[in-house]
Amino acid sequence: MNGKKLMAVVAMVMAVGGSVAFAMGNTGEATDEARVQAQIDGRLHDVLVKMRQHQGR
């Protein structure tokens, strides 16, 4: 996987994460928003680690 494709995937995940955080923020539940953002960050990290492992083969 090349760098451009990787960045596109990251941008897509970030865009989705931002919209989810924004929707959660509209409810006024800052703690829920933070929890959702942490889950998104965790998933993003997992995806990046898997991509790196796949790239190394």
The range of the structural domain enclosing residue 37 comes to 3-56
Place 55 in a pLDDT band, splitting at 50, 70 and 90.
confident
Chain segment 39-49, per-residue pLDDT in tens:
888 888 888 88
* Owner of token pair 């989705």: 16
- Total domains, the chain: 1
Question: Whole-prediction pTM value?
Answer: 0.36
Residue 28 has what pLDDT? 56
Which are the contacts of 40, defined by CB distance < 8 A and separation ≥ 6? Answer: 13, 16, 17, 20, 21
The count of other CB atoms within 10 Å of the CB of residue 29 is 12
Whether residue 1 contacts residue 52, with contact meaning beta carbons closer than 8 Å, is answered with: no
